[in-house]
Amino acid sequence: MGYDLSIIVPVYNEEDNLERVEKELSDYLKIASVPTSILFVNDGSKDNSQEMIEAICARQPDFHFISFEANKGLSAAIKAGFDHTESRLVGYIDSDLQTAPEDFNLLLEHSEDYHLVTGVRANRKDSFVKNMSSTIANGIRRAFTKDGMDDTGCPLKIIHTDYAKRIPMFKGLHRFLPAMILLQEGKIKQVPVQHFPRVAGEAKYGLWNRLLGPLMDCFAYLWMKKKYINYKVASKSE
């Protein structure tokens, strides 16, 4: 079957969430506004996540997986998803399901006119410390990137696959996906989406990852922006 959208689901030690992930994503496939597939990227999980993923994919024909030999981090998992996607559009959602799969349909409404559409988490259901550190980190990032995005950490995005494949990923760059589309002279948009508390498993990132890490990544982004190569072919021979 040909798919218009492939949704990447990075997984790291999420065995407590995967049954709910299967149910909610399989329910979404029934109402998706375009033909859609699911791609699990197992980022070297040490629990039973891989066994559960294989069982899910065996009984769900539109679910697929790739599995890393070792844990490489979220940016690597997203890049692997980009690399293995063949559909016109590629989406991304976290396996903690703090965002709702059905909100992909809200993003798809704008995917023809924009090369990246990202969610903005309305009424976030996180702790005060997590919300505050995220707000500060987003403010710092906006000052560096000028991308105008309020919530690049929102784990609900749709990108044109050809643009996604041209992103030169490095660790931490998942926070800069809108800015990397702008470097390609693409168009970006943010759309309010639902947000829910985590109901199972544990968050994988602490204060360092949410605040100090992104600050350091901003300097890496500025270096990449200065060195970034972007070109358009005017014509070529047959």
Per-residue pLDDT of 32-84, as tens digits, reads 999 999 999 999 999 999 999 999 999 999 999 999 999 999 989 999 999 99
Which stretch of 96-100, 108-112, 138-142 has the lowest confidence by average pLDDT? 138-142
Residue 57 covered by a domain: yes
Q: Is 20 exposed, middle or buried (0-12, 13-18, 19+ CB in 10 A)?
A: middle
Residue 132, pLDDT above cutoff 60: no
Residue 236 covered by a domain: no
The amino acid present at 185, given as its one-letter code, is E
Q: From residue 31, how far is each of 18, 27, 109 by CA, in Å?
A: 20, 7, 14
Question: For 165-170, what is the mean pLDDT?
Answer: 86
Residue 237 covered by a domain: no
Instruction: For residue 127, give its domain range.
Output: 5-227
Question: For 117-140, what is the mean pLDDT?
Answer: 66
Question: For 195-206, what is the mean pLDDT?
Answer: 60
Residue 234 covered by a domain: no
Global pTM value:
0.83
CATH classification of the domain holding 160: 3.90.550.10
Count of structural domains within the chain: 1
Contacts of 23 (CB under 8 A, 6+ apart): none
Residue 199, pLDDT above cutoff 70: no
70 Cα distance to chain centroid: 20
Q: Are 172 and 209 in contact (CB under 8 A)?
A: no
CB 131: neighbour CB atoms within 10 A?
A: 14
HSE value, Cβ hemisphere, 13 Å, CA-based, for 127: 7
Question: For 184-193, what is the mean pLDDT?
Answer: 94
Q: Are 223 and 142 in contact (CB under 8 A)?
A: no
Residue 153, pLDDT above cutoff 90: no
- Per-residue model confidence (pLDDT) at position 116: 97
Pairing of strands 156-160, 116-121: antiparallel
Residue 133, pLDDT above cutoff 60: no
Residue 170 covered by a domain: yes
Helix, coil or strand: residue 225: helix
Residue 166 covered by a domain: yes
